[in-house]
């Protein structure tokens, strides 16, 4: 999914070491590319866990809403994150 207008997204990536990474972005495809390349904007966490794949994306009305949702998702257990991803499939 890519962003429309001023929409923000919260997303979950699956890393090569089978861990999950949660973040926010306006353009998830561009952000995924940043995570998978040597772009300085990619997260340190994903640099040693490439390749990463986009598993889940959820639209949010604003950056603030996306950040709050990101925080909620990060507090979830891995099992609950996997359920969230599965429901979206």
Q: Structural domain of residue 63, as residue ranges?
A: 8-88
Residue 43 has pLDDT above 80, yes or no: yes
Q: Is 82 inside a domain boundary?
A: yes
Q: Structure tokens of 61?
A: 């009305």
- SS3 of the chain: CCCCCCCEEEEEEECCCCCEEEEEECCHHHHHHHHHCCCCCCCHHHHCCCCCEEEEEEEECCHHHHHHHHHHHHHCCHHHHHHHHHHHC
Length of the chain: 89
The per-residue pLDDT for 42 is: 83
Q: Is 2 inside a domain boundary?
A: no
Q: Is 41 inside a domain boundary?
A: yes
Distance CA 86, CA 9 (A): 18
Please tell me the pTM assigned to this model: 0.91
The tens digit of pLDDT for each residue in 45-88 reads 999 999 999 999 999 999 999 999 999 999 999 999 999 999 98
Q: Is 69 inside a domain boundary?
A: yes
């Amino acid at each position: 999914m890519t962003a429309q207008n001023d929409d923000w997204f919260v997303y979950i990536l699956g890393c090569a070491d089978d861990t999950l990474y949660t973040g926010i972005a306006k353009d998830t495809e561009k952000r995924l590319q940043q995570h998978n390349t040597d772009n300085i904007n990619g997260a340190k966490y994903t640099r040693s866990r490439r390749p990463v794949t986009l598993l889940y994306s959820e639209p949010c009305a604003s950056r603030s809403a996306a950040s709050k949702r990101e925080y909620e998702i990060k507090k979830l257990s891995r099992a609950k994150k996997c359920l969230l991803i599965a429901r979206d499939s």
